[in-house]
């Protein structure tokens, strides 16, 4: 619908919208995060919901302890190999549509603990992530920014067509493989449908050049 006509109509007291806009509007303004903290970032997540930052202004203050009632998972903290299966299981238990914010350096890539033998190098190896927030830990403002970014993302999602939202695609998976805590590493070490190691281009030197320096 023409934007000008729409604003003209609204002046007459007529509210015109599409189902998609209404759906997205409702969806984005009532995100219920999962009450789920892993490490240091969880304290900043709590701070973001408290009086000074007050995430409730964005409709996301109802932290639910049960994944069945939540639709936003804020992965806040270091994910160890012992904890990763539980996180994927929690994600699988959440009803669609569901979104994931990967909060902090650890949840993105392992962060300062990346060299550790027990640290998962990013939760995006097992579940799809919508928004990443860098920082160690990110400030509450950064979390609120991520939430607003997610709201914009939800606002622009299509209900039909080829580029419709993931949860409306019957072929897109809603549950993902839960890794097992194996003898040496998690099994599988990543979910290949979601994440693949970045390709590194290695160009070998020509035979003639060998040993020139």
- Give the residue with the Cβ less far from other proteins, 82 or 196: 82
Q: Long-range contacts made by residues 183-192, C-beta under 8 angstroms, separation at least 24? A: 185/81, 186/81, 186/84, 186/85, 186/120, 189/125, 190/125, 190/126, 191/125, 191/126
Question: Quick one: which of 26, 95, 112, 173 contacts other proteins (CB under 8 A)?
Answer: 112
Give the span between the Cα atoms of 3 and 200, in whole angstroms: 47
104 binds other proteins (CB under 8 A): no
Sign of CA dihedral 102, 104, 109, 114: negative
Distance between CA atoms of residues 66 and 90, nearest Å? 9
Binding status of residue 52 toward other proteins by CB under 8 A: yes
> Is 91 near other proteins (CB under 8 A)?
no
Residue 184 CB, shortest distance to other proteins, in Å, is: 11
Coil vs helix vs strand at 31: coil
Q: Which of residues 122-151 bind other proteins (CB under 8 A)?
A: 136-137, 139
Output helix, strand, coil percentages for the chain, rounded to the nearest 5: 35, 10, 50
Query: Contact with other proteins (CB under 8 A): which of 29, 181, 188, 193?
Result: 181
Q: Of these, 24, 28, 31, 37, which contacts other proteins (CB under 8 A)?
A: 37
Beta carbon of residue 211, minimum distance to other proteins (angstroms, whole number): 34
Q: Which residues bind other proteins (CB under 8 A)?
A: 35-40, 42-44, 46-47, 50-52, 63, 65, 67, 77-78, 80, 82-83, 85-86, 90, 112-113, 115-119, 136-137, 139, 180-183
């Amino acid at each position: 619908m023409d934007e000008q006509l729409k604003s003209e109509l609204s002046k007459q007291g007529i509210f015109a919208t599409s189902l998609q806009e209404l759906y997205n509007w409702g969806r984005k303004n009532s995100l219920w995060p999962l009450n789920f903290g892993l490490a240091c970032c969880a304290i900043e997540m709590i701070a973001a919901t408290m009086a000074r930052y007050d995430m409730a202004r964005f409709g996301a203050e109802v932290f639910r302890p049960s994944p069945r009632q939540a639709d936003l998972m804020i992965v806040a903290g270091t994910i160890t190999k012992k904890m990763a299966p539980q996180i994927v299981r929690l994600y699988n238990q959440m009803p669609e549509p569901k979104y994931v914010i990967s909060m902090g350096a650890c949840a993105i890539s392992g962060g300062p603990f990346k060299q550790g033998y027990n640290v998962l190098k990013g939760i995006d190896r097992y579940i799809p992530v919508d928004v990443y927030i860098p920082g160690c830990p990110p400030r509450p403002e950064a979390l609120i920014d991520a939430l607003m970014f997610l709201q914009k993302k939800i606002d622009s999602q299509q209900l039909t067509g080829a580029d419709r939202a993931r949860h409306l695609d019957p072929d897109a998976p809603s549950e993902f493989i839960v890794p097992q805590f194996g003898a040496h590493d998690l099994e599988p070490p990543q979910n290949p449908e979601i994440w693949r190691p970045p390709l590194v281009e290695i160009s070998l030197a020509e035979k003639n050049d060998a040993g020139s320096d």
